[in-house]
Amino acid sequence: MKKVKKIVIYAVIVIAVIGCGTVAKGKLFSDKKEVTTSAAVNKISVEVQTAKAEEKNSGDTYKATLEAYQQGIITSKMAAKVISVSVENGQYVNAGDTIATLDDQDIQNNIKSAQSQLQISEQQLNSSQVALEKLQINLDDAKVNYDRQKALFDADAISQKDFETAEKTFNSAQADFNSGLASIETAKASIEAQKVNIENLQDNLKNTIIKAPISGVISEKSLNIGQMVAQGSALAKINDISFVYATIQVPQEKINSIKIGQAAEITVEGSDKTINGTVKNIDLAADTSTRVFNCKIAIDNSDKSLYPGVFAKVDLITDEKTKIINVPINVLVGSEGDYSVFINDNGTAKKQKVTIGETDENNVEITSGIQEGDQIICTNTSTLHDGNKVEAVSNEDSNLAEETSAKNGDSSKQNGDNTKEVSE
């Protein structure tokens, strides 16, 4: 009996051991499954873009502000009230076009008055000339009588009193003639002065019509109807934009690499269109405070599509080329002077420090830190950490998947419509 009881006890122990082993084995498999599942869940899905090198002109790039080829200032040559304005800011005008008109009523009245006075003076001159002719006759008669009386006096044929009377008459006639002649000369000078005054008034009358000194675009207009303008006051500016200049500032260590006539490519801010230009002018002296040289790049603007004051980027063209890598600007992490990007390194996110070059609204040049062929992580960069496991999808695959999904959606919709038609 004791032997049977002992066998039963051994059997229970064996069953318990086997049961524990089975439970432990099940628990082990369960734990492995959880670890595997957890590892799969912890992989972060990201989009990647393969870094590609592109050739770029190795010349330097500068920022610039566009300037007009030449600028004229519209002024008034006289003080008067504005009675009409013919232009607005931004309007293109040709040289000689009317900009504004000033009140000319006072000038018109002055011209009429001066012309009337001139007419009177000319009539007085005519009368004086007629009178002078009579004085000339009197002088001639007095001279003849004087000569005759002198001859008689010299021959003791007349008295000294008679001779002195003839002499006095001659001298008086001479004085009257000289006075009349002087009056005529004074009248002539007065008439010439009056004519000059009328010419000046007529010039002032022309000046009441303010005209454009050059062809160009109106800017900074400060001119309104009813406004009193002073002589010489600036009323507006006019910008000749047949050509525009992009003025760049070149540091002294690079000035010798720039030549007159050198080609340049200009990109206006907010546009991806590239415009050709040439180096037109290089300052011979550097700015004493900044030690930079101003250089002007001339740009043909015959279509008048460019305006002064616009920001632009200038690339000076050289024969040398260099390779650069462009990436989307949103892949950068960090702050100014300490930038990094994440690279997919066989399923692991690797944080890589980089040096950047030029940037625009969408892209940035990477000058060092990554190589052609690297897989740049483009999404989830704000939450990634160095060493995170990632599951990469290329931008091209992602775009293709979106297109396929859209097509499948359209196809499903069409099939649904067809089913509905059959049902009906």
236-259 pLDDT tens trace = 999 999 999 999 999 988 898 899
Nearest CA-CA partner of 99 in 206, 224, 238, 212: 212
Nearest CA-CA partner of 312 in 216, 248, 258: 248
Q: What is the mean pLDDT of each run of 10 residues along the chain (424 residues)?
A: 41 42 42 45 86 77 92 93 95 95 95 94 92 94 94 92 94 95 93 95 94 94 94 94 94 90 92 91 90 94 90 86 83 86 93 85 86 91 90 65 44 44 37
CA distance 268 to 316: 15
- To 5 degrees, how large is the angle CA 60–CA 63–CA 67? 125
Beta strands in 51-126 (DSSP E): 53-57, 61-75, 80-85, 92-93, 98-102
60 Cβ neighbours under 8 A, 6+ residues apart: 250, 254, 257, 315, 316
In our burial notation (b when 16+ CB lie closer than 10 A, e otherwise), range 69-89 reads beebebebebebebeebbbee
Q: Are 229 and 291 spatial neighbours (Cβ–Cβ below 8 Å)?
A: no
Same fold: 48-56+323-398 with 61-70+237-321: no
Q: In the chain, where are the structural domains located? A: 48-56+323-398, 61-70+237-321, 104-207
Secondary structure letter of residue 43 according to DSSP? P
218 Cβ neighbours under 8 A, 6+ residues apart: 87, 88, 89, 90, 91, 92, 93, 99, 236, 237, 238
DSSP string, 111-179: HHHHHHHHHHHHHHHHHHHHHHHHHHHHHHHHHHHHHHHHHHHHTT-S-HHHHHHHHHHHHHHHHHHHH
* Amino acid 301: pLDDT: 93
What is the CATH superfamily name and number for domain 61-70+237-321?
Answer: Efflux pump adaptor protein, beta barrel domain (2.40.30.170)
Q: Are 141 and 218 spatial neighbours (Cβ–Cβ below 8 Å)?
A: no
What residue has token string 């009539």? 123
Q: What is the model's pTM?
A: 0.53
CATH for 48-56+323-398, options being 2.40.420.20, 3.40.1160.10, 1.10.357.10, 3.10.50.30: 2.40.420.20
39 CB neighbour count, 10 Å cutoff: 10
CA distance 161 to 174: 20
* Amino acid 57: pLDDT: 64
Q: What are 237's two structure tokens?
A: 């500016």
Q: For residue range 99-124, list pLDDT tens digits in order.
A: 999 999 999 999 999 999 999 999 99
Q: What are 374's two structure tokens?
A: 């690297």
* Amino acid 262: pLDDT: 93
114 Cβ neighbours under 8 A, 6+ residues apart: 194, 197, 198, 201
Q: Are 93 and 238 spatial neighbours (Cβ–Cβ below 8 Å)?
A: yes
379 CB neighbour count, 10 Å cutoff: 20
